[in-house]
Each structure stands twice: as structure tokens, then as C-alpha cells.
Amino acid sequence: MQEVTADSACAAQLRGSLTDELVATGTIVSKKVEAAFRMVPRHLFAPGATLEQSYAQDTVRTKRDEHGTTISAVSAPQIQAMMLEQTQLEAGMRVLEIGSGGYNAALIAELVSEGGEVTTVDIDPDVVDRARDCLAAAGYNKVNVVLADAEGGVPEHAPYDRIIVTVGAWDIPPAWSGQLAEGGRMIVPLRMRGLTRSVTFERDGDHLVSRDYRLCGFVPMQGIGSHNERVVSLDGNRVSLRIDGEQPADADRLRDALLGPRVERWSGVEGGPTEPFDDLDLWVATVVDDFGLLTATKEAIDSGLVSKSTRVGAKTMVAGGSFAYRASARPVDAERTRFEFGAYAHGPDAVRLAEDYVDLIQAWDRDHCGSPGARIEVYSSAASDAELPPGRVINKRHTRVVISWPGQRQYPNRKP
């Protein structure tokens, strides 16, 4: 399955350097995933990109919609490597990839070897045609490339030992669970209250239970399974609150709050520049009833109206006409090696909300920082409250997702 191109020597060198970097950072931990990355010619799956772009640590965008929004891409190598490590593929497995492009399917084909079977499905005819052509050019002719809305899975090649979803999913359709073989594993970039985590699920009786999850980002799913967040404008198109749920938001009052005085509080909780704190955000999303993501343009940030944390969606708690959000961590030493977490708040209840947010940061640091993290369980939408374990309940079209934190004080089921 070696590539045969005029630039193969240069491509092989770049591919080797990319793989070395993924190994050095601990993203690739297994020899078999390392071998797949050294083998598959990534540049053949990124038409229009240069060799250097193909092997950079970046997403290669391959299609945009009429508004310029990316709707198909070759995901960043570290995300693909991370998910393949989560998947734990073995030779001879049958695998379904939901969301195509070709490159990841080729990596999977290397991992399951000749005895396995790989099916990749996408709703976009252009993506399917490109994936089929790229796979053929790279020598992976046995991959099943299917054009379909993946809401129904791909029953003709089921059951699957592994299902790996490479688009952002808001829900888990029954077909995916139904086509998963006994003892199988499903990896889904699942959006929960606006936050996406690549979750490794295994079946436990009548529901799915997480075994692992990682921070990630993907283009959103299209078709029947698509689900848009609600966008509440607070300052024209400069500042918005994104809400992934049904909770109310009084735009007029929140807009007035944003333009009024700001309260800030700091927690005393510190972290280093490379220490992960994405579980802090998931913890806040779990325990706050009215939650959203505050986003802003560079202009609004530069003006001082909002914190730099809004560039990627500041995690926000809302109460009537007031809101508080996690500020960008501030350096606490001259060398900028330690940073303190804090909160900014606006509105009539700004002082209380800022202090409540700081309390949450301190609770996470005390009870959950460095712990195994959250437990994420997925039940059918038909499950009653009495059948669900304690935790934050997120109701979706097909499922009810419950997030809990082992070791924390148990509280009744909480719904957004």
C-alpha cells in the first residue's frame, strides 16, 4: 500500500516527522497506530493542499458552504490519532466510520489489516466521491464507501465491532447502538450543553457507559441528525450567547447587563500553562442549571468589553438578567508559569454570580482535579426519571444523557 508519486521521498520524510511529533507528545502511544501513521500517505487525501500543509498539525479544510463555513475537512492529526487510540482496533475487526474523507478510513484499514472490513459513510456526494477516489489512489480499494444519511447507520455491513464517528454529533441514534456488535465499542464526539468530548462508549445492559473521553472539535453533523444551538445576540454581531438547550434567556436584560459595570472575582486556584483544565468546564456545565457559551469577535475583546476567553466560548452561568463567565486565567508570577482562575460577571446579581462561579472552581479543584473525571451514560429517550442514575440529565431526540462525577455528593437528577 505504499504511495508511488514523484514526491514520495519528501512525503515520507514529512510523514515520519509528523508521526515522531505525535509519539513525542504522547498522542500516539501504541506501536500499531504509529505504524499506520507512518504508512498512510496523508497528502493523497488533501487535494489542493501542499505537502507541508498536508503534514502539518492542522485541519485541512476540503469543503465550505456558501457562507464560508467548513463542512468537510481532514481532521488535525492529533485528533485522529487520539480517537484511534481510544478505539483500540484489532486485526480482523469490522468498523463503521461515520463522516468520511478517506484518510481516517485508510488508517483504520491498516489497523484491522486484511482480515477486517472498513465501511465509511457520508451524506455529501462530493465528499464520498473524493474519498472513493483518494482511497483508490492510495491503494485502499477494499474500503466500503457509502453515500447515505448516517442517522440510519449502514445496516448492510453490520454488525460492527467498532463505530467511530468523525463529525460532531448532538445525539446517538438508535441505529448506531443497534448495529454495534456484542462487546463492541463506539467513539462519538458528543455535544453536551455546547461542549464536545470524544467519548468512548461500551454497552452496559440497556444503555451505554463511557470508558474514556477527550476534548475535541469537529464540523457538525448534517442531515437528520443535525441540531443547531440557539444564538442570543447581546451586542450586535460582536458578542453572543450560544445556548444548547431549552432554558430561557432574556436578551434585552442580558444586553443591558453586558454594557453595565463588570464584577470580577479570583479563586486562588492555580494551574500551569500545560495543565489540562477542560474538566473544569465540563464540571461547570454539569452543575449550573442555566448554562451557555459567551462568544465575541476580536474587536469586542480588544475593546475590553469581554475577556479573551470568549474567543473559544467562555463557559457562562445565567440567572435572569445577570450572567457570569470564566475569565482568561491571569498570570501570578513574573515568569508566567502559574495562572489563576477567576470569573467576570455582569448585571444586578453580578456579585453573587461571580462568587458562585469561584465556588464552583474551588469545588472542582478540591474534589475533581486530577480525578478520573465524569461518568457519561446514555439511555433511551423512553427511560423514566426513576430509571436514571443521579446526575445532570440532558434530554435529546433519541436519548437521555446523564453526566455524574464519581465521588461527589449525590444530588437528585438535574435537567437543563
Catalytic annotation, pick one of 75, 177, 267, 404: 75
Query: Residue 339's Cα: distance from chain center in Å?
Result: 25
Residue 169 DSSP one-character state: B
| CA-closest candidate to residue 219, choices 43, 95, 344, 69 | 69
Q: Does the N-terminal peptide bond of residue 173 adopt cis geometry, omega within 30 degrees of 0?
A: no
β-strands 94-98, 160-165: how paired? parallel
- Joined together, the cell numbers standing for residue 48 give 489542493
Q: What is the largest CA-CA distance in the chain?
A: 67
Whether 75 is catalytic: yes
3-state secondary structure of 281: helix
Distance of alpha carbon 414 from alpha carbon 370, whole angstroms: 24
| CA-closest candidate to residue 98, choices 48, 204, 173, 25 | 173
Instruction: List, as one string, the DSSP characters of 368-413.
Output: TTTS---EEEEEETT--GGGSPSSEEEE-SSEEEEEE-TTSPP---
Burial class (CB in 10 A: 0-12, 13-18, 19+), 150: buried
Q: H/E/C letters for each residue in 220-233?
A: ECCHHHCCCCEEEE
Instruction: List, as one string, the DSSP characters of 80-136.
Output: HHHHHHHHT--TT-EEEEES--SHHHHHHHHHH-TT-EEEEEES-HHHHHHHHHHHH
Residue carrying the nine cell digits 448506531: 176
Residues annotated as catalytic (active site), given as ranges: 75
